[in-house]
Structure 1
Amino acid sequence: MAYITKKKIAKAFHDVVLTKGFSRTSVTAIMDTADFRRQTFYDYFQDKYELLTWFIDDTLAETVERNLNYLPWIDIIKLVCYELDANRRFYAECINSQHEIDVTALVGNHLAALLTELTQTHTAETAALIWLLCLGIAQSLTHNIVANHPEDYETLSQDAIAAIEMTLKILR
């Protein structure tokens, strides 16, 4: 039940950010939209920054980690790119309006989980290479969200796939 409550709060957060902007999003507005008591928010989150982190982590965990055994990794990369593009307004608002949460690093963490699973090697050198590659891909994706003239997400996903394929060749 706690997860369902968190998802409802996160959905309300998403809606309020799109309506009012991140900086004008208050706990009261979130909870009014979710139709919960204000105190319920604090049962799950300290503040809207923790909620933002949870929202991104939960969304990307659904997209990446929960699909590891069901989808080819290429499709997962395409899904990540699609998710970020489909919710471009929300992510752009969160990236542009606050600096407490590193959205790029959060995206990079989930991409790194995917690549770590793909490589099945767990040396410090491999982990460093994976992290830097994933951070670069994540930077490309998050920069594209806030760009005045963004590239098509399919182009970005193809670039990410090509970079990962080259890295996998090196690691094998």
Structure 2
Amino acid sequence: MARDRKRLIADAFIDLCETMGVEKATVTALIERCGISRQTFYYHFQNIGDVVTWTLGQLFGEVLMKGLAMDRVHDALRYFIAVVTENLPFIELLLSSRWHNEVEAIMVRGVHTYLVELVRVRYPSLGLSVPDLDAALTLYSHGIVGLLLDRCADPALDRELLVDQIIRIISDTLLNVEVTGTTSL
């Protein structure tokens, strides 16, 4: 029941952001939209920032879990790009608000977690020290998120090309694996 209320509040938050703008998505507006008391809101969330964090955490947590369950990195990256593209209007609203840093951090953390798990499971004996691997994965995480935010707004985006480019760059530089076209990475 509590999770359903949180989801209700999060959905109302998304709707308010898209129809009225992020700055109009206040606690008062949310409790009116949801038909809940102020006490109920504060039972589930501390403030609007908490709603932002939870809402995006749920979205990208689901992407992470589904991506890790996929056999191919291409499929996981394709899915991530689709989710970013589908949610881009909402993400861009948040990125142009005071929540910019939180939004970017959640996205980067999701990509980083995925890459860490990918390397741990599929490439456990990489010849990099733990600090070097962490630095490389952090660099790639920020780069992938930045690239997606830059490119996903383009309606002419060739998603397959972008997926291949990202896989090829990571494979050639980090994994030292030759990749041509599509791969079973």
Q: Quickly say closer, same or farther: Cα 1:99–1:8, change in 2 above 3 A.
A: closer
Displacement of 1:51 = 1.1
Displacement of 1:87 = 1.5
Structure 1 counterpart of 2:140? 133
Q: Quickly say closer, same or farther: Cα 1:76–1:70, change in 2 above 3 A.
A: closer
Displacement of 1:124 = 2.0
Structure 2 counterpart of 1:157? 163
Structure 1 counterpart of 2:108? 108
Q: Quickly say closer, same or farther: Cα 1:54–1:160, change in 2 above 3 A.
A: farther
* Aligned AA (1:164): I
CA distance in 2, matches of 1:103, 1:26: 18
From 100, 123, 126, the counterpart of 2:130: 123
CA distance in 1, matches of 2:158, 2:6: 29
Displacement of 1:99 = 4.5
**CA deviation map 1:125-166 (0-9, x unaligned):** 211111111111111222346x6x566261443433333333
CA distance in 2, matches of 1:54, 1:7: 9
**1:142 correspondence with 2:121:** no
Q: TM-score, normalised by structure 1?
A: 0.84
SS of the aligned residue for 2:25 comes to: coil
C-alpha contact 1:60 1:110 (8 A) present in aligned 2: yes
CA distance in 2, matches of 1:119, 1:141: 21
Structure 2 residue runs of 5 or longer lacking an equivalent are 178-185
Structure 1 outlier segments of 4+, above 6 Å:
none
**CA deviation map 1:28-74 (0-9, x unaligned):** 22222223222212112221112111111110010112441345332
| CA RMSD in angstroms, aligned pairs only | 2.4
Displacement of 1:110 = 0.7
C-alpha contact 1:53 1:101 (8 A) present in aligned 2: no
Number of equivalences: 169
SS of the aligned residue for 1:57 comes to: helix
Structure 2 counterpart of 1:21? 21
Q: Quickly say closer, same or farther: Cα 1:123–1:156, change in 2 above 3 A.
A: same
Structure 1 residue runs of 5 or longer lacking an equivalent are none
CA distance in 2, matches of 1:50, 1:151: 35
C-alpha contact 2:67 2:79 (8 A) present in aligned 1: no
* Aligned AA (1:130): L
* Aligned AA (2:41): F
Structure 1 counterpart of 2:40? 40
C-alpha contact 2:6 2:44 (8 A) present in aligned 1: yes
Q: Give the percent of matched residue pairs that are identical in Structure 1 and Structure 2.
A: 27
